[in-house]
């Protein structure tokens, strides 16, 4: 038997769950499928130990989806973004610049939360929505579209007729592949280590990026862990260096991490296991197909710099919701408008993050010196500094 639904969300990662909550909250009937049941406990094996810093424009999208009220009590505000250049001969901080949200807004830049906690709260929100049917353990197997509907076959053999399919099924998106939409991918030979640390000195809501070579070492504030100040770390390096680091014994790893952090916030102690993420930039040639919208990593992937990835995904979701109307849901007009609105924005942000990443990877000493001088020059011009902050937050 075939079930009819307004929206089928393929993928129950953070972005897909948010999409299901948003369309469910807007009154549409929704089925959301994912072959991997979400891990909603931070201590369970396989838990997503990354964190997401939600920037200001993401908050109204989360509010409308009934998600923000659940997240706010756990969120750690980010008031200052600190950029530290440690590109000299020795691994010490030689230039430090603070970008304070107070210069451009009465609000913090954003709010940081662990990804496993997002999954817990998003799934709880879906449970409370009668018009949303979340089916963990079920995958999208086949997609066939025609003008009036998308016909989706699921891995349990059931078939769904949807007016709109939202592909939120990740960077290898099976829905995108079924539609034959090509992607453009840039590889950097780089990986990220993501984990949490405790430290003796408080972070005072400062998010810190330390630049030396190989990529940034970023500390993002979290709530206390076992009574100690705690931050999430994203440490980007070349692939071989990450492979070397993850094979070190715990004491040697801690030593290497503390050298790389230049002693900021005191001696860092590893508080969670390491997880490793390959770093790429990728964009789909278009974000729409017949009866299909691509969003999140199915549409675009960026290196984790400046907290852009999931925030861009919530920008996608905000546009999809704004363009949706019960009479025209999934029709080509609104889907083309979605592509026109989101693709150029994503392309611009990809280019910006790509440039920052390449600058941070630089190894040769004279170029590292030039990078420090350029950062200093940009920072010293107050209007440029404010403009960069607004751009980074997504205020313009």
Ligand X SMILES: Cc1cc2nc3c(=O)[nH]c(=O)nc-3n(C[C@H](O)[C@H](O)[C@H](O)COP(=O)(O)OP(=O)(O)OC[C@H]3O[C@@H](n4cnc5c(N)ncnc54)[C@H](O)[C@@H]3O)c2cc1C
Q: Out of 61, 183, 234, 324, point to the residue binding ligand X (CB under 6 A).
A: 234
Q: What is the dihedral of CA 115, 206, 59, 167, to 10 degrees?
A: -40
CA distances from 36 to 11, 12, 137 (A): 9, 8, 5
- Please compute Rg for the chain using Cα positions: 21
98-106, 239-247, 302-310, 329-337 -> range binding ligand X (CB under 6 A)? 302-310
Question: Which residues, 6+ apart, have CB-to-CB distance to 349 below 8 Å?
Answer: 300, 302, 308, 312
Task: Sort strands 30-34 and 2-10 into parallel, antiparallel or unpaired.
Answer: parallel
| Cβ proximity to ligand X, 35 vs 266, nearer residue | 35
Report the site for ligand X in 236-275 (rule: CB under 6 A): none
**Which of these, 135, 96, 44, lies nearest to 375 by C-alpha position?**
96
Question: Which residues, 6+ apart, have CB-to-CB distance to 112 below 8 Å?
Answer: 51, 52, 53, 54, 75, 76, 78, 207, 220, 221, 222, 232
- When CB distances to ligand X are compared, the closest residue is 13
Report the site for ligand X in 164-203 (rule: CB under 6 A): 168-170, 174, 192, 194
Joined tokens for residue 352: 């910006």
Q: Out of 5, 7, 13, 160, point to the residue binding ligand X (CB under 6 A).
A: 13
51-59, 96-104, 328-336, 378-386 -> range binding ligand X (CB under 6 A)? 51-59
Q: Does 121 bind ligand X (CB under 6 A)?
A: no
Q: Does 297 bind ligand X (CB under 6 A)?
A: yes
| Cβ proximity to ligand X, 149 vs 297, nearer residue | 297
Q: Does 120 bind ligand X (CB under 6 A)?
A: no
Report the site for ligand X in 30-49 (rule: CB under 6 A): 33-36
Burial of residue 277 (CB within 10 Å: 0-12, 13-18, 19+) is middle
SS3 365: helix
60-68, 301-309, 335-343, 349-357 -> range binding ligand X (CB under 6 A)? 301-309
122-130, 266-274, 308-316, 387-395 -> range binding ligand X (CB under 6 A)? 308-316
Report the site for ligand X in 130-169 (rule: CB under 6 A): 139-140, 168-169
Q: Does 15 bind ligand X (CB under 6 A)?
A: yes
The site for ligand X (CB under 6 A) is made up of 10-16, 33-36, 50-53, 139-140, 168-170, 174, 192, 194, 234, 277, 296-297, 304, 307-311, 313
């Amino acid at each position: 038997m075939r079930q009819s639904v307004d929206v089928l969300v393929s993928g129950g990662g953070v972005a897909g769950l948010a999409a299901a909550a948003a369309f469910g909250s807007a009154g549409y009937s929704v089925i959301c499928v994912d072959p991997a049941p979400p891990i909603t406990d931070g201590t369970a094996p396989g838990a997503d130990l990354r964190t997401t810093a939600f920037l200001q424009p993401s908050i109204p999208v989360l509010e409308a989806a009934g998600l923000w009220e659940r997240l706010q009590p756990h969120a750690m505000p980010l008031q200052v973004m600190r950029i530290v250049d440690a590109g000299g001969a020795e691994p010490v901080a030689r230039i430090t610049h603070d970008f304070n949200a107070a210069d451009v807004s009465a609000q913090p830049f954003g709010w940081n939360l662990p990804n496993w906690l997002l999954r817990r709260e998003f799934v709880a929100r879906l449970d409370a929505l009668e018009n949303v049917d979340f089916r963990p353990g079920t995958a999208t197997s086949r997609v066939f579209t025609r003008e009036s509907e998308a016909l989706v076959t699921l891995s349990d053999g059931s078939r769904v007729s949807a007016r709109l399919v939202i592909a939120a099924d990740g960077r290898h998106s099976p829905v995108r592949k079924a539609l034959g939409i090509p992607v453009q991918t840039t590889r950097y030979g780089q990986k990220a280590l993501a984990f949490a640390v405790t430290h003796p000195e408080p972070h005072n809501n400062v998010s810190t990026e330390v630049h030396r070579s190989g990529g940034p070492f970023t500390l993002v504030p979290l709530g206390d862990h076992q009574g100690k100040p705690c931050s999430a770390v994203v440490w980007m390096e070349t692939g071989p260096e990450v492979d070397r680091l993850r094979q070190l014994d715990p004491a040697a790893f801690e030593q290497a991490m503390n050298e790389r952090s230049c002693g900021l916030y005191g001696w860092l102690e590893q508080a969670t296991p390491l997880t490793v993420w390959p770093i790429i930039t990728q964009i789909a040639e278009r974000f729409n197909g017949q009866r299909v919208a691509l969003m999140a990593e199915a549409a675009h992937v960026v290196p984790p710099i400046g907290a852009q990835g999931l925030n861009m995904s919530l920008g996608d979701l905000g546009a999809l919701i704004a363009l949706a109307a019960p009479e025209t849901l999934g029709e080509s007009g609104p889907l083309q408008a979605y592509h026109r609105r989101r693709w150029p924005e994503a392309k611009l942000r990809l280019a910006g993050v790509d440039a920052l990443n390449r600058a941070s990877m630089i190894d040769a000493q004279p170029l590292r010196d030039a990078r420090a001088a350029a950062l200093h020059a940009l920072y010293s011009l107050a209007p440029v500094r404010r403009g960069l902050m607004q751009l980074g937050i997504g205020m313009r």
